[in-house]
Structures are given as C-alpha cells and as structure tokens.
Amino acid sequence: MGHAPGHGMMMPGPAGKWWDNPDLARRLNLTAEQQKKMDEVFQQHRLRLIDLHAALEKEEAILEPLHEAANPDDAKVLPQIDRVAEARAELEKANARMLLGLRHVLTPEQWKMLESEEHGPHAPDGHSGPGGQHMMPPPPPRPERD
C-alpha cells in the first residue's frame, strides 16, 4: 500500500529533482538562479513530505492486519480507513503546496514547455507527464506475502 510523496499530485516532466537534469534544464532555458530557487522550494518542503509519507505508511501498516483478518471488525477497520485517508490527504496537500512553489519559479512559457514533456520519452519509472510523475522516487517494493 506504499505511496511516494506526491502520489496523485503530479508534476509534468521527469521524476525527482527534474530541474537538475541538464538536458531538460537546457530545453526549458532554466537559469542557475531558477534552479537554485527550485532547490530551495524543494528543501523547504522535503522534511514535511518525508514525515507525512511516514505517517501514511504507519496508518497503512495499522490497517493492513485489520483488513486482512479472517473476520474484520468494522468498528476497528472503518475508523482506520478514515485515518489512512486523512494521512493521504495531508500528504497530497503538502505536495500540492510544493508543486505550486516550484511552478511560481517558472515563467508561463517554461511551464507550457514542461507540460509538453508529457509527450516525450518515458521516465525511468515507466511514466511520463502529468498523471504519471512523482516529485520523489517511489519507495522500494515490499516483499510479497504468501
């Protein structure tokens, strides 16, 4: 059930700190000052995103055995589902704030060019463009259960 910070709230272009990608930075005509500002925005939000992602993982870890019980107890499962949804919503809102901060660093023309990256080659995670990109890479896969 793990989700990367930002799952759902997507940013066009490559995953991660895409503004540090030399080819993309050149295509977008990013200045060194813009890249520095984007690093600052990212850093301002990074620790909160990490904490919120951990909170979501924790709530999902609590839900998992409740949900997988032979006879799930609705009185325990339903409130925990609400806690998972709340944790996910907080993560989404924090990610949206960061993405908005990053967008404010770009010119409207750069933003349009970045949006057009959705039609480019797939990123290493197999996704491309809005609806497929995460600001941070996904966590490693969990071992399969028997």
Does residue 142 lie in a domain region? no
Measure the CA–CA gap between 51 and 55, rounded to whole angstroms: 6
Q: Does residue 52 fall inside a structural domain?
A: yes
Confidence category of residue 31, pLDDT binned at 50, 70, 90: very high
Please write the tens of the pLDDT for every residue from 7-25. Answer: 444 444 445 788 999 999 9
| Residue with the larger pLDDT of the pair 125 and 98 | 98
Kindly state the tokens that stand for 78. Answer: 């339903």
Does some domain include residue 65?
Answer: yes
- pLDDT reported for residue 117: 79
Query: Is residue 61 classed as helix, strand or coil in its secondary structure?
Result: helix
Return the HEC string of 123-135.
Answer: CCCCCCCCCCCCC
Asked if residue 5 belongs to a domain, the reply is no
In this predicted structure, what is the pLDDT of residue 114?
86
Taking a C-beta distance cutoff of 8 angstroms, is the pair 122, 37 a contact?
no
**84 belongs to a structural domain:** yes
pLDDT bucket at 118, cuts 50 / 70 / 90: low
pLDDT(131) > 60: no
State the average pLDDT over residues 110-127.
62
Is residue 77 a part of any domain in this protein? yes
136/88 Cα distance (integer angstroms): 16
Token couple for 53: 């992602």
What per-residue confidence (pLDDT) applies to 16?
A: 74
Domain count, the chain: 1
Residue range 84-95, pLDDT digits in tens: 999 999 999 999
Residue 51 located in a structural domain: yes
Q: What value does the mean pLDDT take over residues 88-110?
A: 95
In a domain, 23, yes or no: no
- Residue numbers of the domain that contains 92: 46-119
Take residue 61 and report the two structure tokens written for it: 């870890």
Residue 116 pLDDT grade (very low, low, confident, very high; cuts 50, 70, 90): confident
Asked whether residue 6 carries a pLDDT value surpassing 50, the answer given is: no
- φ, ψ of residue 77 to 5 degrees: the values are -70, -50
Q: Residue 115: its pLDDT value, please?
A: 84
pTM of this structure: 0.67
